[in-house]
A and B are shown apart, each in its own frame.
Chain A
């Protein structure tokens, strides 16, 4: 009785053709090799990206704070305009008028 291993051994991969080697060498002549980067490049890339991140965070933070102040100023102006338009001035006039009549 044969074993699985013995049966597997009946399948033999053929020898690669002579032309294959020549073909690979020919292709290798035209293929470009990837150059190696300088030894410390990776460290500089890492430091650079970290610095860029800090800078971006600083710029975003500053612009948000500046934007908030503008927002406060805008709000005050809007409320002042609204108060005028709904007649606060009239109301004050009426109060002052009333006080004057009472005094009399």
Chain B
């Protein structure tokens, strides 16, 4: 019984206290907001531990380039850092805000630059069986990425958020600043295009 109470107390201690509105989604980063606002670098380091990979991934799926993806992540984190004192908790979670900044940054870069070159270099061919399997997988991934990059920018953004970031339709719509219906339409059109483009790959395993 004592153990149960101790556990409950521990849970209460860990549970964020700011969620008085039961409809409001808890922000897992509330514990570091005050640190960020005070200019504490440790808070920024913690935030990067939590979300650097997620934000860089948005850049990678949107732009198809590792260096550009890192630039997007850098811009996003620095923007958050400079804006932190003005941050008002409750409007959105830090992660949603960063996803929005990163997605908009990608869309801006795509508007400015019509062609983005991939930074992947041709590799030496290793012909061992496991290596061949890896090569096949790599080839498939490359084809899928090419199909992704061929999508219209906003459709790719919707796919990035829904499939690779696992955000809800509501949050995705909020990030792209469109209605939920419009977001749903973007996803549906993107799926349809991908299905058509990737149909040879989709059928491959049947053979």
Contact = CB atoms under 8 A, between A and B. Distances in A.
B194 A4 contact: yes
Secondary structure dominating the interface of A: loop
Interface string B192-203: 001100100111
Contacts of A17: 70
Given A7-B144, A11-B141, A23-B74, A29 B191 contact: no
B45 A25 contact: yes
A3 interface: yes
A36 B83 CA distance: 9
Tier of interface size on chain B = 35 or more
Contacts of B202: 1-4, 7
Interface of A: 1-5, 7-8, 10-17, 20-21, 23-25, 27-29, 31-36
Interface of B: 37, 39, 41, 44-45, 48, 52-53, 56-57, 60-61, 66, 69-70, 73-74, 77-78, 81-86, 137, 140-141, 144-145, 148, 159, 163-164, 191, 194-195, 198, 201-206
A24 B198 contact: no
B190 to A, nearest CB: 9
B140 A28 contact: no
Contacts of B56: 13, 16, 20
A99 to B, nearest CB: 89
Given A23-B74, A25-B41, A7 B140 contact: yes
